[in-house]
Structure 1
Amino acid sequence: VLRDVFQVAVLRRRVPNLRRILSGFVAVLLGLTLFLIGLEQALFPIGETMARQLAAPEAAGAAATPAGATGVDWRDYMLVYAFAAAIGFATTIAEPPLIAVALKAEEASGGAIRSWGLRLAVAVGVAVGVSLGAFRIVTGTPLSWYIIAAYAVVIVQTFGSSRSIVPLAYDSGGVTTSTVTVPVVAALGLGLAANVPGRNPLIDGFGLIAFASVFPIMSVLGYSMATSWLNRVRRARRSGEEAT
């Protein structure tokens, strides 16, 4: 729309297909409005409700915590970690921006990068990240420890990965935290922090999005490094067989 306004106001040129553009703009506005209503009335309550039910003592298998007590055994929340991983994987696979980037990557690489392979690598990274983020909420450990360690690993992976895959890996970490993943994961974190004894939703409830952003970078770079290593092993075997 801004491009069309610039074209009319500055370049003094007629906008082609003006009716189609306006109808599409109206459809986008209506879609975003309905989407925001759906977030407020459906996705946020669902995430908070599921986190509250999973963090309940009877669901976690833990004894009721006395009033004022803050001791939490992280092993009592295994179901929470599994659920967080499942939510992270499912929402990422359905993320429209990731689908678009994966399709463009496959098209630009001539099929060398498979769309489904990239989406699965990113989804696995988000699943691990959200699960680890849920573990951090349960244990109450500082967020900075995890983020610093994760980015240190990313830096090492960046120097050891192919130059062609590094920009795609970093972009994958950005596009995965979008319209589907962010609302559900944020609601999960807030609901979990509100129901784990001794946790503050304002301090501990946020931060899952950071995990969901950095761990896909690690998983895509790791997938690329593993693929390169396997290809080298196969080439070495073939050259050895040809030599014999």
Structure 2
Amino acid sequence: MLGFVYVVLGLALFLMGLEMALFPLGESMAEQLTALDFLFGQGEAIPVQVPWHEYYWVYLFAAAIGFSTTIAEPSLIAVAIKANQVSGNTISVNGLRIAVALGVAIGIALGSYRIVAGDPLHYYILVGYVVVVVQTYFAPKTIVPLAYDSGGVTTSTVTVPIVTALGLGLASTVPGRNPLLDGFGLIAFASLFPMITVMAYAQLSVWQTRRQAEAAERRKDNAL
């Protein structure tokens, strides 16, 4: 009973923290990064329509936020430790965490570009899942379920509030964007791209192992 009370109290405080700290933080970051004075400098000529590449600080910051929040995600740490134990240390804890964090960083940066450019969301998601299906065919079968789960564990307590606030803040400050239509969708990118990067990490590991084995075989043949 006492544990249940602690859970309810913790969730209530967590939700209060979201409303009072994380959501305003994400919105203020988006406002500052998209301010015309920040993009062009004070006294500079400002074009009528700001091109997408002028928001490069937004993309860099979004990637940094995605990477850092994912590395600190407790659920990802737990899954990485379990995967390492079950695989007999074959799957590196830090390697998996970095692969997932890179996927989230790429996804959040690309999602931020989508908000700035105003492109339809479904085009990106459709192409992304086509890549996932193709990778599933070629990736080591032992990594595929873990890669699919990696997309889910990233969207947890740390990542979701900041990323959501960033998306809504961008859609509210970039001219011509609708917060309801364009502000959401970053979480979909954060769930999709870790699947791609984790399978790519496994494919690169297999390729590197194969190269090392072939090099060792060649050295053995040369010695004979």
Same fold (TM over 0.5): yes
**Runs of at least 4 residues off by over 6 Å:** none
1:13-57 deviation digits (Å, cap 9, x = unpaired) = xxxxxxxxx322222221111111100100000000000110111
In 1, Cα distance between the equivalents of 2:68 and 2:76? Answer: 13
In 2, Cα distance between the equivalents of 1:147 and 1:115? Answer: 28
Equivalent of residue 194 in structure 1, options 157, 162, 172: 172
Per the alignment, residue 23 of structure 1 pairs with 2
Q: What is the deviation of 1:77?
A: 0.3
In 2, Cα distance between the equivalents of 1:160 and 1:28? Answer: 43
Q: What is the deviation of 1:64?
A: 4.3
Q: What is the deviation of 1:169?
A: 0.4
Per the alignment, residue 163 of structure 2 pairs with 185
In 2, Cα distance between the equivalents of 1:232 and 1:43? Answer: 45
Helix, strand or coil: the match of 2:81? helix
1:121-168 deviation digits (Å, cap 9, x = unpaired) = 000000000000000111111111111111111111100011110000
Equivalent of residue 148 in structure 1, options 123, 126, 129: 126
User: Is 1:114 the equivalent of 2:92?
Assistant: yes
Q: What is the deviation of 1:65?
A: 5.9
Quote the sequence identity (%).
Answer: 59
Q: What is the deviation of 1:116?
A: 1.1
Partners of 1:98 and 1:172 within 8 A in 2: yes
Per the alignment, residue 5 of structure 1 pairs with none
Per the alignment, residue 20 of structure 2 pairs with 41
Q: What is the deviation of 1:58?
A: 1.3
In 2, Cα distance between the equivalents of 1:117 and 1:111? Answer: 11
Number of aligned residue pairs: give it.
219
Partners of 1:60 and 1:78 within 8 A in 2: no
Equivalent of residue 72 in structure 1, options 24, 43, 50: 50
Partners of 2:99 and 2:201 within 8 A in 1: yes
1:66-101 deviation digits (Å, cap 9, x = unpaired) = 5xxxx3301110000000000001111111111111
Give the AA of the match of 1:187: A
Partners of 2:136 and 2:199 within 8 A in 1: yes
In 2, Cα distance between the equivalents of 1:79 and 1:197? Answer: 17
Equivalent of residue 239 in structure 1, options 217, 220, 224: 217
User: Is 1:211 the equivalent of 2:185?
Assistant: no
Per the alignment, residue 35 of structure 2 pairs with 56
Q: What is the deviation of 1:185?
A: 0.3
Q: What is the deviation of 1:184?
A: 0.4
Partners of 1:72 and 1:138 within 8 A in 2: no
Partners of 2:40 and 2:46 within 8 A in 1: no
- Provide TM-score, normalisation by structure 2: 0.95
In 2, Cα distance between the equivalents of 1:143 and 1:110? Answer: 40
Where in structure 2 are the equivalents of 1:134-173 lying within 5 Å?
134-173=112-151
Equivalent of residue 199 in structure 2, options 209, 212, 221: 221
- Provide TM-score, normalisation by structure 1: 0.87
Helix, strand or coil: the match of 2:175? coil
Partners of 1:95 and 1:180 within 8 A in 2: yes
User: Is 1:32 the equivalent of 2:11?
Assistant: yes
